[in-house]
């Protein structure tokens, strides 16, 4: 089991070749975007020229994972560098929820702030809407966005779902509600304006910008310049506006002279919401989507661009996940990590720099408080299966575990457990060991 101390030792290893001065870091996070929804990941009709350019000028990962198949736990994992079960944030929070990010968790902005970074968040938080849980209480200098998903509102837009009525959707600046029921067709534009303001106002010190888009979560909206323009329909309109926003970020970094000292990362919180039909996305080759621990629920597109540090046009098959960004950002920033807390992420800066092809990883697939699968190398073992529905439909606990070689069979069609009993036994033992190691994790409040 990796501990915070072991990661501190890892980060203190030999310095990276050609590592620049402390870089700015921009983490752009889409909501419910599928692995197959970008042009550079093979979508035939959604046009994403700016994200495609990120891939051409940087690194595209093909084996990158979220740590959960739904919103709140996936975001908790990204910011803490830990499986959600460790923080207790294992289920989606709602406007009626009283919990949020625990004060005991040390998250990315707090670590970078300790190294002299300005920190800002724009977009969807979804880690607690009460005042004590908002981003400005957890290391962000500023915040502009929605505290939870855009469908958690009394009104319903195109593609929206049913369910109980909620209070008016709040738009928050720092710790104050400045509007209710904002015009969602302007959210991406307004988010982008605030993100660009952060970039332009941060020339005197390094900055960390966490830009968590509302879309393409349903209900779908797109600005006037994008509505009705994509061959993919409203879903494509929303994704293409997110792509435009990425282009604005890249252009502003160049205009302000910060382009070559800024790491920009783009990914998504979980797989596509398939039951939404035309209003949901595509997982590409991968099975199922949001709400499931099949590959389509947790494998994500991931792009990283850092001119002069990340080799251009590199396609990486290194196995990584969202929990890796905390130790990676800390390494690049020269920021010390807190001791005594177990991290589950791994520093990926040698992979980003092109000095490593990555190492064999063990990755665990959690859904809520249920450990459902494990992957080691090419092998993935399921002990539980469910279809893509949210809230999850009936879960089937398998009488016999199912084994897949996800490199040869990314769609998880062919169970080869009978041919590899030794691998099944090894992976079951890893699951048992992992579960025992975190059985004292706090329960979500």
Task: Tell me the Ramachandran region of residue 442: left when phi exceeds 0, alpha when psi lies from -120 to 50, beta otherwise.
Answer: beta
> Among 166, 182, 73, which residue's Cα sits nearest to residue 123?
182
Please give the span between the terminal C-alpha atoms of the chain, in angstroms, as a whole number. Answer: 26
264, β-bridge pairs: 26, 305
Report H helices in 201-269. 234-255
- 318: DSSP letter: -
Q: How far apart are CA 104 and CA 187, in angstroms?
A: 32
The strand pairing partners of 305, in sequence order, are 264
Q: Identify the bridge partners of residue 65 per DSSP, sorted by sequence position.
A: 299, 321
Choosing from 40, 43, 126, 194, the catalytic residue is 126
- The rounded distance, in Å, linking the Cα atoms of 20 and 18 is 6
Do the Cβ atoms of 298 and 270 come closer than 8 Å? yes
**Residue 49, token pair as written in the block:** 């020229």
Structure tokens, 347: 């520093």
- CA-CA distance, 414 to 214, in Å (whole number)? 36
Which has the closest alpha carbon to 274: 298, 249, 291? 291
Number of C-beta neighbours around residue 277 at 10 A: 9
- C-alpha to C-alpha distance for 271 and 299, rounded to whole angstroms: 7
Q: Out of 71, 213, 217, 302, pick the active-site residue.
A: 71
* 126 annotated active-site: yes
- Using CA atoms of 257, 259, 260, 263 in order, give the dihedral in degrees to the nearest 10: 140
Q: Where are the beta strands (DSSP E) in 230-354?
A: 262-268, 299-305, 314-316, 320-321
CB crowding 386-417: b at 16 or more within 10 Å, else e: bbbbbebeeeeeeeebbbbbbeebbbbeeeeb
Token pair 């949001």: residue: 290
Tell me which residues are annotated as active site. 71, 126
């Amino acid at each position: 089991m990796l501990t915070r101390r072991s990661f501190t030792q890892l980060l203190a290893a030999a310095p990276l070749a050609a590592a620049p001065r402390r870089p700015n870091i921009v983490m752009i996070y889409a909501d419910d975007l599928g692995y197959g929804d970008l042009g550079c990941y093979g979508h035939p009709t959604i046009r994403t020229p700016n994200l495609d350019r990120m891939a051409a000028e940087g690194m595209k990962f093909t084996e990158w994972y979220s740590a959960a198949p739904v919103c709140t736990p996936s975001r908790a994992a990204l910011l803490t560098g830990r499986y959600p079960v460790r923080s207790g944030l294992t289920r989606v929070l709602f406007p009626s929820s009283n919990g949020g990010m625990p004060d005991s968790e040390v998250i990315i902005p707090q670590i970078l702030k300790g190294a002299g970074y300005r920190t800002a968040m724009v977009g969807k938080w979804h880690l607690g809407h009460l005042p004590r849980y908002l981003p400005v209480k957890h290391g962000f200098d500023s915040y502009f966005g929605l505290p939870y998903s855009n469908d958690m509102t009394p009104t319903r837009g195109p593609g929206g779902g049913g369910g109980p009525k909620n209070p008016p959707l709040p738009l928050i600046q720092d710790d104050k509600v400045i509007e209710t029921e904002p015009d969602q067709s302007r959210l991406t534009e307004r988010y982008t304006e605030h993100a660009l303001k952060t970039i332009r106002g941060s020339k005197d010190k390094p900055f960390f910008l966490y830009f968590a888009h509302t879309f393409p979560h349903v209900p779908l909206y797109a600005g006037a310049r994008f509505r009705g323009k994509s061959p993919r329909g409203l879903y494509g309109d929303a994704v293409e506006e997110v792509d435009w926003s990425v282009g604005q970020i890249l252009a502003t970094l160049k205009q302000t002279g910060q382009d070559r000292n800024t790491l920009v990362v783009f990914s998504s919180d979980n797989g596509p919401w398939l039951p939404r039909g035309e209003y949901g996305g595509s997982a590409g080759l991968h099975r199922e989507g949001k709400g499931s621990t099949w590959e389509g629920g947790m494998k994500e597109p991931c792009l990283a661009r850092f001119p002069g540090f990340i080799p251009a046009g590199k396609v990486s098959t290194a196995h990584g996940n969202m929990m890796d960004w905390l130790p990676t950002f800390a390494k690049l920033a020269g920021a010390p990590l807190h001791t005594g807390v177990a991290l589950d992420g791994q520093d990926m800066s040698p992979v980003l720099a092109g000095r490593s092809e990555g190492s064999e990883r063990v990755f665990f697939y959690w859904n809520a408080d249920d450990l459902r699968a494990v992957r080691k190398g090419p092998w993935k073992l399921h002990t539980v299966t469910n279809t893509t529905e949210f809230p999850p439909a009936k879960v089937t606990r398998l009488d016999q575990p199912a084994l897949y070689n996800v490199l040869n069979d990314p769609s998880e069609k062919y169970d080869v457990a009978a041919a590899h009993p030794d691998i099944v036994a090894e992976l079951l033992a890893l699951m048992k060991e992992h579960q025992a190691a975190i059985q004292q994790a706090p329960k979500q409040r």
